[in-house]
Chain A
């Protein structure tokens, strides 16, 4: 069996397992997994840039927030229907990531990390500053009108847990297909070449700036899609989603699951979400777990879960 067919089978099986999971999960975990699925979309978007292109952004919260506020503000203030608001959120993320890319990609290495961190901080401060529209930290709760929509001749209720779960899963499947196609094609190979040795790729005639810009824009757009869906499904937007914490989280998920593996971020998000959930039952200092896991990964497990599996057993894992 070819590597491509094996990986199609594997990722199809992951999606099927996630689909089946909803019928056995108790109510609390049903909701928790819905959140995990959307956060995994965010992490997969991040991984496209970090894992495959080798660019570490410390500001991905701004793209998540762009999607969230793009969708949430239009739904709240302009009463846009859900699909239009969602689309607008995604477009906001695409626009922002294009502009940020044009600026930040002029820098490399440490400077790139700091520039993304700082621009993200500006976005966070903006959500606090324009409090008339965003209500800052307190945030906005989506109105009842934004809790349902009509599409494809059907009424969709966002208050229904099962609808939410399957919509989140559909977004995850879309993201996964997108990443798989990118990684398999020439574009993905060029990205990996840039990760491994940018100078050599440039010498071979690749315009690495354009490739990196495309990767960043796609990554930001996927992150914004997660943010927009998060706002509309859970009916709340607030400044805390733009804070540094939300830039660190996808990094943590990706490192844990394995940077540069398609399904790694899903594994990482699941594991970390439940670890933090468990810790927060026992202590208010649950972020301690985040710190310990980060150190552990860097020191002893730099390849992450699926990275280890690939190195050890499944060489074909994309």
Chain B
């Protein structure tokens, strides 16, 4: 294959990666933005989404499309419910103290991951894609499902954007994010908002995982990569800035996909991780962000 078509292939792979990353990182960014909480267990919610998709699809049986549709509906709901319970039972009780929250979410990470190991087992398991068709380019054929992943992620992102900017619920979330105490004074039940945002963040990660599980496989250790990538994206985009997060997810997902095709993935990860650490040191507001309110 010539360079041109090869580059197109790498770009498509990168776009699929970026689409899923947009969802996962948006979840992390929402939680950080509204609650000022770093959720180290975020990658495990992603993993739970994939694992639940496998459970639901296996349980539903029948045509793969049916199982997949059910999974896309149920997995984010279930994961959201788990996250909601975790927020009420743990994070609320440590009063969102930054250090205690990080330690608590590390604890949640291990509990979710190891419980999955006990119930789901150590094997990687595949979920059948809901349909098979190939899009024929002049140079190569490409999985139609992967293109649909990009489309579905876009729809979900638009829905989230609509929720945040155009609904009353979104207004309440934005008010809480802008100034917690004033929001409380206006009668907003900030605790409820926090629980909801935490659940929504987890559900977004789970939705991303359901979309990607037919191309990759569900495995109990699959949470660590999305976690680190989401961290990277949220930092580059500016902590808590949603627009920055989306731009950065596209940038990082694309470049990670492209670089991994051409170079050693380990070297690519090393360089990007180091670059991001330096961004956080020298430009804590992110590359696109503005300084946060004190």
Residues in A lying within 8 Å of B, measured CB to CB: 56, 58, 103-104, 106-107, 109-111, 113-115, 117-119, 121-122, 125-126, 128-129, 244, 248, 251, 255, 283-288, 290-295, 297-299, 302
B108-135 vs A, Cβ < 8 Å mask (1 yes, 0 no): 1111111101100010000000000000
The answer to the question of B148 belonging to the interface, with a C-beta cut-off of 8 Å to chain A, is: no
B117 partner residues in chain A, CB cutoff 8 A: 284-285
Q: Determine the distance from Cα of A278 to Cα of B111 in the docked complex, in whole angstroms.
A: 17
Most A Cβ at <10 Å: residue of B104, B114, B239, B276? B114
Q: State the 4 A-B residue pairs at the shortest beta-carbon distance, nearest first.
A: A291-B110, A294-B107, A288-B114, A291-B111
Q: Determine the distance from Cα of A106 to Cα of B118 in the docked complex, in whole angstroms.
A: 42
Chain A's closest residue to B117 (CB) is A285
Q: Check A288/B90 contact, CB under 8 A, given A56-B99, A125-B273, A294-B106.
A: no
Q: Determine the distance from Cα of A211 to Cα of B36 in the docked complex, in whole angstroms.
A: 28
Chain B's closest residue to A105 (CB) is B281
Q: Determine the distance from Cα of A125 to Cα of B265 in the docked complex, in whole angstroms.
A: 10
Are B284 and A291 closer than 8 Å at their CB atoms?
Answer: no
Are A287 and B114 closer than 8 Å at their CB atoms?
Answer: yes
Are B103 and A111 closer than 8 Å at their CB atoms?
Answer: no
Are B284 and A107 closer than 8 Å at their CB atoms?
Answer: yes
Q: Check A287/B113 contact, CB under 8 A, given A118-B273, A122-B277, A298-B94.
A: yes
Chain A's closest residue to B109 (CB) is A291
A-B contact pairs, 14 of them (CB 8 A): A58-B102, A103-B278, A107-B280, A113-B102, A114-B38, A114-B231, A118-B232, A118-B273, A118-B280, A129-B264, A248-B106, A287-B113, A294-B103, A294-B107
Q: Determine the distance from Cα of A68 to Cα of B263 in the docked complex, in whole angstroms.
A: 29
Are B266 and A288 closer than 8 Å at their CB atoms?
Answer: no
Are B277 and A118 closer than 8 Å at their CB atoms?
Answer: yes
Q: Determine the distance from Cα of A295 to Cα of B228 in the docked complex, in whole angstroms.
A: 22
Q: How many residues of B contact A (CB 8 A)?
A: 43
Q: Determine the distance from Cα of A243 to Cα of B228 in the docked complex, in whole angstroms.
A: 13
B266 partner residues in chain A, CB cutoff 8 A: 125, 128-129
A121 partner residues in chain B, CB cutoff 8 A: 228, 273
Are A287 and B276 closer than 8 Å at their CB atoms?
Answer: no
The answer to the question of B98 belonging to the interface, with a C-beta cut-off of 8 Å to chain A, is: yes
The answer to the question of B155 belonging to the interface, with a C-beta cut-off of 8 Å to chain A, is: no
B94 partner residues in chain A, CB cutoff 8 A: 298-299
Are A298 and B107 closer than 8 Å at their CB atoms?
Answer: yes
Binding site secondary structure of chain A: helix
Q: Determine the distance from Cα of A33 to Cα of B12 in the docked complex, in whole angstroms.
A: 53
A248 partner residues in chain B, CB cutoff 8 A: 106
A120 shortest CB reach to chain B, Å: 10
Are A126 and B107 closer than 8 Å at their CB atoms?
Answer: no
The answer to the question of B63 belonging to the interface, with a C-beta cut-off of 8 Å to chain A, is: no
A286 shortest CB reach to chain B, Å: 8
Are A111 and B113 closer than 8 Å at their CB atoms?
Answer: no
User: A109 touches which one: B93, B98, B109, B273 (CB < 8 A)?
Assistant: B98
B55 shortest CB reach to chain A, Å: 18
A118 partner residues in chain B, CB cutoff 8 A: 228, 231-232, 273-274, 276-277, 280
Q: Determine the distance from Cα of A128 to Cα of B231 in the docked complex, in whole angstroms.
A: 21
Are B281 and A103 closer than 8 Å at their CB atoms?
Answer: yes
Q: Check A295/B274 contact, CB under 8 A, given A111-B284, A128-B266.
A: no
Are B274 and A122 closer than 8 Å at their CB atoms?
Answer: yes
Are A115 and B98 closer than 8 Å at their CB atoms?
Answer: no
Are A299 and B103 closer than 8 Å at their CB atoms?
Answer: no
B83-96 vs A, Cβ < 8 Å mask (1 yes, 0 no): 00000001001100
User: A295 touches which one: B104, B224, B267, B284 (CB < 8 A)?
Assistant: B104
Are B104 and A119 closer than 8 Å at their CB atoms?
Answer: no
Are B93 and A299 closer than 8 Å at their CB atoms?
Answer: yes
Are A113 and B273 closer than 8 Å at their CB atoms?
Answer: no
B106 partner residues in chain A, CB cutoff 8 A: 248, 251, 291, 294
Are A119 and B107 closer than 8 Å at their CB atoms?
Answer: no
The answer to the question of B69 belonging to the interface, with a C-beta cut-off of 8 Å to chain A, is: no
Q: Determine the distance from Cα of A272 to Cα of B248 in the docked complex, in whole angstroms.
A: 40
Q: Check A119/B108 contact, CB under 8 A, given A109-B98, A285-B115.
A: no
The answer to the question of B243 belonging to the interface, with a C-beta cut-off of 8 Å to chain A, is: no
